[in-house]
Amino acid sequence: MAEVVVIKFGGGLITNKTKLCTPELAVINDLVDVVGQCLDSGKRVIVVHGAGSFGHLRAKYWRLNEGLVADENFVPEKDCRNQIQAVSIVRKDMLTLNSIIKSAFARRGISTTSLPPHLWAKNTGSNFDGDIATTFASTESVPITFGDVVDCDIGSFGILSGDDLVVRICRDVPNVKRLIFAIKGVDGIMSKPPSEALPSDLIVEWSPSVKFTGIHHTDIDVTGGIGLKASRGAEVAAMGVDVFIVNGGYPQRLIDACLGKPTRGTQIFSE
Ligand code: IPE
């Protein structure tokens, strides 16, 4: 059975986070090439992508991560009057981003299957409800899923992050060997905030007892930044999967990480 590599394309990497619904097409093409090389070497690849400006900006304004909140807390926008509309707009925008990524794969001759979480998953956090084993069973094409607005038992809806999806994929899909988080603008987990960090501040091996000051743009993001990746990564490492955080701006590093070759980045351990 082929080894499975799970790769998360960070939303900040594949979109311009400050401009609503703006994809970074050149970056997406580079990432598709990375997956292509990984497939060429005989691996099975599962792609999970984030939201960036296709999800966070509107989800933040409409507080979709908090579930249903009374209407009087919001000033309606021109194209969106309430949270329920915001849920359907963000779901639609995520499908648009997903189709941009699918098209990039198609141009490279790689067939993909999109698995939007709002169709098969419920509730948030890495314990969300969803039958991963069945949903990801087909090995004919590259499965792609993504952070999404899902239905929830409490609060009607919430945000299921790609960082939560990868935990369950690594647990429930047979033979997952590696998980790679491709992130924007930084080589991995740094011991200092990225704006102050020198290359030598890269934490090459991280486990939960190692302290660091990651940045999390709580003004823009509704999910957890590098801290969430680190803690979810540690959960996955505990399953015996090799977990790496790698600068997504360097495709060769991603290829090496996917193929299990040493490269610059942070490897995450459970302890
Ligand atoms: C967030 O998913 C989903 C929405 C805001 C709809 P992620 O947590 O996986 O997204 P990024 O990688 O931070 O953009």
Q: What percent of the chain has pLDDT over 90?
A: 89
Predicted local confidence at residue 223, as pLDDT: 80
Q: Judge whether residue 7 has pLDDT over 70.
A: yes
Among residues 106, 250, 81, 236, the alpha carbon closest in space to that of 173 is found at 236
Q: Judge whether residue 73 has pLDDT over 80.
A: yes
**For 223-263, what is each residue's pLDDT tens digit?**
878 889 999 999 999 999 999 999 999 999 999 999 999 99
pLDDT confidence band for 75 (50 / 70 / 90): very high
- CATH code where residue 112 lies: 3.40.1160.10
Compute, in angstroms, the gap from residue 106 CA to the centroid of ligand 1.
23
Is the CB of 15 inside a 6 Å radius of any atom of ligand 1?
A: no
Write out the DSSP string of 58-94: HHHHTTGGG----GGG-PPPSS--SHHHHHHHHHHHH
| Long-range contact set of residues 248-251: C-beta below 8 Å, sequence gap at least 24 | 248/9, 248/10, 248/13, 248/27, 248/31, 248/182, 248/183, 248/184, 249/13, 249/27, 249/184, 249/185, 251/30, 251/31, 251/33, 251/34
**For 31-63, what is each residue's pLDDT tens digit?**
999 999 999 999 999 999 999 999 999 999 999
Radius of gyration of the chain (CA): 18
Which of 48, 128, 150, 223 maximizes ligand 1 atoms within 8 Å of its Cβ, making it the mutation to test the pocket?
A: 223
Task: Report, as an integer, the average pLDDT of 129-157.
Answer: 96
Within 13 A of 91's CA, how many CA atoms are on the CB side?
16
pLDDT confidence band for 212 (50 / 70 / 90): confident
Predicted local confidence at residue 222, as pLDDT: 80
**For 174-192, what is each residue's pLDDT tens digit?**
999 999 999 999 999 999 8
Predicted local confidence at residue 220, as pLDDT: 73
Q: Judge whether residue 138 has pLDDT over 90.
A: no
**pTM of whole model > 0.85?**
yes
For ligand 1, atom 3, name the residue with the nearest CA.
147
Residue 193 domain boundaries: 4-268
Q: Tell me the residue type at 230.
A: A
Is the CB of 4 inside a 6 Å radius of any atom of ligand 1?
A: no
Q: How many domains does the chain have?
A: 1
